[in-house]
Structure 1
Amino acid sequence: MKKLCTLLFLLCSVFTYAQENTELKTFKKRGVFLDINVGFAERIGELSGEDYLDKQYSKSLKSGFSYDVSLYFRLIEDKNSFIGFKHNAFKKRIVVDDAYVYAPNGQEGYGDYSNNITIAFYGISYLYCKETANRDEFNFDLSLGYIHYKDKAVILRDYKITGASFGAYTSGSYHFRISDGFSVGPRVGLLLGTLRSAEIDGPNGFHENIKLDGDSKESLSRIDLSIGARIKF
């Protein structure tokens, strides 16, 4: 009887160890998430320079295309928590032919007017991922980092307008499980940031540093509505 009990104990120990080892391998195998999101974005807040643009043009600058790429690594202490890196961007290009405009270097007259804007966010991100009963996933992430603003503009001549700001990005999403390592779903994101200064480079060596105070500060904040895919490693 004693030998039988000892044998059963050994078998239980081996089974428990094997099960824990299998779970650990699965845990490590799915410890890295790559999230990719694409969709529509709408800037919120007032844009600077509205004395040079009519309301219709200014409004059209607020909506555009956005994408988001994030890489997360699981925190060992908490299977629901991940830390990683996020790159998020907004892009908008608009062109008006034969407009009467005032250029930064003092020129004015009829000519081409266009904006080609990129607002890029780079940050360190925390992700909380909670698996549901049917193995779908509810996600929340929060990122802090750097926002870079760039506008390749044409205002009679070519100009480049650049600026930078501290920013924060947060989003919530729901992923439907397609397979063990792949899921897709909708996401809502929010970027917060404000541009307080900018540099303008133009033709014939033109360069100007401008400080945006009061009503001239430009909001970089926006809302993203996107569809995302998650690949697990």
Structure 2
Amino acid sequence: MKKKLLILSVLAGTAMTFAQQKITIIPSVGYAWRVAKTADNMDASQKEYVKGLKSGFNFDIGAYYRVNTLTGLGIKYNLYTASHTGDFNVANENIILNDFKTDDRISFVGPGFIYSNFEEDVKHRLYYDMAIGLISYVSKNQFVETKGSNLGLAATIGYMYGISPAVMIGPQFSYTGGVLKKYKINGTEYKPNEGEYEGLHRVAASLGATFRF
């Protein structure tokens, strides 16, 4: 009888743990690749320089409140950073800048939702999240600072292995995208021609963790 009561107590405690886990936080770090086409008005040497900024560090985090057993609502943030140093040819000039360094930063934040089987009592779990919000771009070098923002989208699909009911770990694949049709260069607004827009699309492969409270 005592053994049965003990088993029932453990099962009840596990059920309460699952029932109380309303908050899900999913941070991840990894590597990302920008996939937007390079502007047509760049020459071959400039395109080669820009290649160095086409991949970089990716950080992502989402926080969600569980609405039901499958879905949750919350907020998603991610950040891409890349840096490159090399020789750069100035457009329409016979000038080559040696050891020219550029730092790029693309951030996204917005409301989102998550769809998952996190409530199931299994080791292997899957999830998908998506958010629509503000995507912002900053590019800096020794002479120019370019800034812009627009509506963007971020989505992630991931696999999670359950270490415990509250902690999971696994790989993620994500996409973040947006297009700048206008931006500011050293504070002055600039509207490029179609085909010269700044595409912010990227894909990323990351390792993430899930914490549930």
For Structure 1 versus Structure 2, the TM-score category normalised by the shorter chain is 0.7 to 0.9
Q: How far apart, in 1, do the equivalents of 2:44 and 2:185 lie?
A: 16
The percentage of counterpart residues that share the same residue type is 25
TM-score scaled to structure 2, two decimals? 0.84
Task: State the match for 1:10 in structure 2.
Answer: none
Whether the 8 Å contact between 2:52 and 2:83 is mirrored in structure 1 is: no
Task: State the match for 1:65 in structure 2.
Answer: 57
Task: State the match for 2:4 in structure 1.
Answer: none
Task: State the match for 1:184 in structure 2.
Answer: 169
Q: How far apart, in 2, do the equivalents of 1:192 and 1:108 lie?
A: 34
The yes-or-no answer on 1:116 pairing with 2:103 is yes
Q: CA deviation at 1:192?
A: 2.0
Q: CA deviation at 1:50?
A: 2.5
Give the alignment's Cα RMSD to 1 decimal: 2.7
Structure 1 residues 113, 52: CA separation in 2 closer, same or farther (over 3 Å shift)? farther
Write the mapping of 1:18-29 to structure 2, written as runs, cut at 5 A: 25-29=16-20
Whether the 8 Å contact between 1:37 and 1:69 is mirrored in structure 2 is: yes
Residue segments in structure 1 that go unaligned for 5+ positions in a row = 1-17, 202-206
Q: Map Cα deviations across residues 107-139 of structure 1 (whole Å, 9 max, x no partner).
A: 956455221000000011100111466332110
Whether the 8 Å contact between 2:69 and 2:117 is mirrored in structure 1 is: no
Task: State the match for 2:139 in structure 1.
Answer: 151
Write the mapping of 1:34-183 to structure 2, written as runs, cut at 5 A: 34-48=25-39, 50-51=42-43, 53-75=45-67, 78-96=68-86, 99-102=88-91, 110-131=97-118, 134-154=122-142, 157=143, 159-183=144-168
- AA partner of residue 51 (structure 1): D
Larger radius of gyration: 1
Q: CA deviation at 1:171?
A: 1.3
Q: CA deviation at 1:63?
A: 1.0
Write the mapping of 1:222-233 to structure 2, written as runs, cut at 5 A: 222-233=202-213
Whether the 8 Å contact between 1:153 and 1:161 is mirrored in structure 2 is: no
Q: How far apart, in 1, do the equivalents of 2:126 and 2:208 lie?
A: 13
Whether the 8 Å contact between 1:102 and 1:109 is mirrored in structure 2 is: no
